Amino acid sequence: MKEQLLQTNQGLRAHLYHNADNFENIETIFILAPGMPNYPEKEFFEPLLSKLQNAAFVVVYYYGYWFSSGKFSIENSANSISDIIIALRGGMLSDVFSENNLPKYLQKINLIGYSFGANPLLNSLKKINYENINNIILAAPLCLVADSQTATIDDKILLDFKKYNVDFCNFIARGYSELIRDDSNMLKTHLQGTNKESVVKIPQVFADKIIVYYGAKDEMIKRPFIDALSILDITNINVVENIGHSKKLILQAISDLDR
C-alpha cells in the first residue's frame, strides 16, 4: 500500500492511501472526514484496498487539527472538506516530502463522514458542485447538535448526551490541546449544541446521495439523533445490528456500495 502526505497552498493536509500503479490509474477516491480526535490510520485501509481495485482513500486533517495549519473552528472544519475536493479537481495538491504536484483528478469521488466528521462534511456541501460527488456515506453520524434541530428528542437523552460531551471536552483539553488548536473553545460549544455554525444545512439536491449507517448498539449517539435526520430529507438509513459507535460501519458501508 502506498501512503502519501498531501498538502494545499493553504496549509491543509491529508493522507492518501492507494495500491494503484500511479495516481492517474485511480478510478475512485473516498474522502474521509474523520472523528474527533479519532481517525482511521493506514492499517484500517489495507483490507479495503486489497478488495477495491484502483481505489484510494484520503483522510482529511481539518484546519487547526493534527498536520494542518491554521486554527480549529466549525467553519474551518467544513471548509477543509470543500477545499480538498477543489484541490483534487484542480490539480492543486502536492506531496509534502517530494514536493511533486498531483495531476487533476477527474474521476469518481465518494465522501465519508464518520462521527464528528459528518457535521463538517454536510455543511461543506454548500460549496461543492453536485456533479463532483457520487455518494455520501455517514457512519455513526454526529451531525445534529443544535437544540433547534433536536426539539423532538427526549429531554433525558439530550441531558445525558450533553453530560457525556462535557467529560469528552475535558478529555480533549487534557490530552490534545496541542493537536486541536481551538482558541475559541468552539469544539465545546459545538458539542453542547450552542454554536449556531453547527446547525446542519444542506442543499436539498444532495439528499438522494446520502446513505447513513448506524450501529444499533451505539451508546454515544442515541437513535433519536439519527431519526432527526429526516429534517434534512435524509431517509436512506441502515441500522446495523451488534455494532456500536465504531469505524466498522465504514467497512460495512463500502462493502455494500461495492456490490
- Which residue shows C-alpha cell 454526529? 142
Which residue type, as a one-letter code, is found at position 198?
S
pLDDT tens, position by position, 60-111: 999 998 889 999 988 999 999 999 999 999 999 999 999 999 999 999 999 9
Q: Is residue 182 part of a domain?
A: no
- Residue 72 in any domain: the answer is yes
Looking at residue 217, what is its pLDDT? Answer: 96
Confidence check: pLDDT of 149 > 60: no
**For 24-70, what is each residue's pLDDT tens digit?**
999 999 999 998 877 788 899 999 999 998 999 999 999 998 889 99
Residue 165 lies in a domain: no
For residue 147, the 8-state DSSP code is G
How far apart (Å, rounded) are the C-alpha atoms in residues 226 and 205? 20
Three-state DSSP at 162 gives helix
pLDDT beyond 60 at 154: yes
Residue 192: CB atoms within 10 Å:
17
Residue 81 falls inside a structural domain? yes
Beta strands across the sheet bearing 55-61: 94-95, 2-7, 13-18, 55-61, 28-33, 108-114, 135-139, 210-215, 237-240
Mean pLDDT along residues 186-195 = 76
CA angle (119 as vertex; 116, 123 as ends), nearest 5: 155
Q: What average pLDDT does range 201-221 have in this prediction?
A: 93
Highest-confidence segment of 80-89, 146-155, 163-172: 80-89
Give the other-Cβ count within 10 Å of 136's Cβ: 26
35-39, 50-54, 146-150, 238-242: least confident range: 146-150
pLDDT number for residue 188: 79
Cis peptide before 37 (omega within 30 of 0): yes
- Chain centre distance of CA 184: 22
Report the mean per-residue pLDDT for the chain.
88
CATH of the domain at 136: 3.40.50.1820
Closest of 141, 137, 136 to residue 115, by C-alpha: 141
**DSSP per-residue codes, 45-93:** HHHHHHHSTTEEEEEEE-TTBTT--S---HHHHHHHHHHHHHHHHHT--
* Range in 20-24, 64-68, 209-213, 225-229 with the lowest mean pLDDT: 225-229
Check residue 142 and give its pLDDT. 85
Asked if residue 153 lies in contact with residue 229, where contact means CB atoms within 8 angstroms, the answer is: no
pLDDT of 7 above 90: yes
Looking at residue 143, what is its pLDDT? 76
Give me the residue label for grid cell 454515544: 220
What is the pLDDT, as a whole number, of residue 62? 94
Q: For residue 42, is it within any domain? A: yes
Q: Is residue 149, in this structure, part of any structural domain at all? A: no
Amino acid at 258: D
* Position with higher pLDDT, 157 vs 130: 130
Interatomic CA distance for residues 199 and 147, integer angstroms: 9
pLDDT recorded at residue 224: 83
User: Do the beta carbons of residue 142 and residue 118 sit within 8 Å?
Assistant: yes
- pLDDT of 114 reads 95
d(CA 2, CA 46): 10
Please count the structural domains in the chain.
Answer: 1
Domain limits for position 236: 2-144+198-257
| Residue of higher predicted confidence among 110 and 259 | 110
Whether 150 shows a pLDDT value over 70: the answer reads: no
Instruction: State percent of the chain over pLDDT 70.
Output: 87
Which residue reads 482529511 in cell numbers? 60
Is 185 contained in some domain?
no
Mean pLDDT is lowest, of 114-128, 129-143, 152-166, 211-225, for 152-166
Please give the residue that has the higher pLDDT: either 150 or 113.
113
Q: What sign for the dihedral angle of Cα 62, 181, 141, 214?
A: positive
